[in-house]
């Protein structure tokens, strides 16, 4: 299996408001940056979208380390999702899980790989996370998407 690093971030101007997401993928000496935007969204949706879009680029099963500054994403996919699925996408309070569409997409993408999740403090000393932040903010402000 190929060993890949995926670093992700999301940004939103207002919550909800215009948002952007970004991901950096590293495989050996190769590096790919992607980003995209949505006109009316939330920060959590952008954080999720970054992970989904990054994983979608992997065309074969990989060992992937996914680094995020979102505890919502990390805990959601590693802890909370099991109960949500068991409870038909309901929270402990019996309310519908927010962002179910993206959680289902992320769950599918993660199932294709051997995934390890890491959390880093945002706006700190992780160069790729900082780059993702720059790209996500750029995308949110310009409402542009990276060429694929």
- Find, among 134, 117, 133, the residue nearest to 47 by Cα: 133
List 20, 69, 113, 126, catalytic entry: 69
Please answer whether residues 69 and 120 qualify as being in contact, where contact means their C-beta atoms are separated by less than 8 angstroms. Answer: yes
Catalytic residue chosen out of the listed positions 38, 47, 53, 128: 47
Is 123 designated active site? yes
Is residue 113 among the annotated active site residues? Answer: no
Among residues 10, 19, 36, 76, which one is catalytic? 10
> Would you call 93 a catalytic residue per the annotation?
no
- 47 flagged as catalytic: yes
Catalytic residues: 9-10, 47, 69, 123, 133
């Amino acid at each position: 299996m190929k060993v890949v690093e995926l670093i992700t971030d999301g940004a939103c101007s207002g919550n909800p408001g215009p948002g952007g997401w970004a991901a950096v993928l590293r495989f050996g000496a190769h590096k790919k940056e992607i980003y995209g935007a949505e006109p009316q969204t939330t920060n959590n949706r952008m954080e999720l979208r970054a992970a989904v879009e990054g994983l979608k680029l992997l065309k074969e099963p990989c060992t992937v380390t996914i680094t995020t500054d979102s505890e919502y994403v990390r805990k959601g996919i590693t802890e909370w999702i099991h109960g949500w699925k068991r409870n038909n996408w309901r929270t402990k309070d019996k309310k519908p899980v927010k962002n179910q569409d993206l959680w289902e997409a992320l769950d599918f993408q993660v199932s294709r790989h051997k995934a390890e999740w890491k959390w880093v403090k945002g706006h700190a000393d992780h160069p790729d996370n900082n780059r993702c932040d720059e790209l996500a903010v750029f995308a949110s402000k310009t409402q542009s998407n990276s060429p694929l």
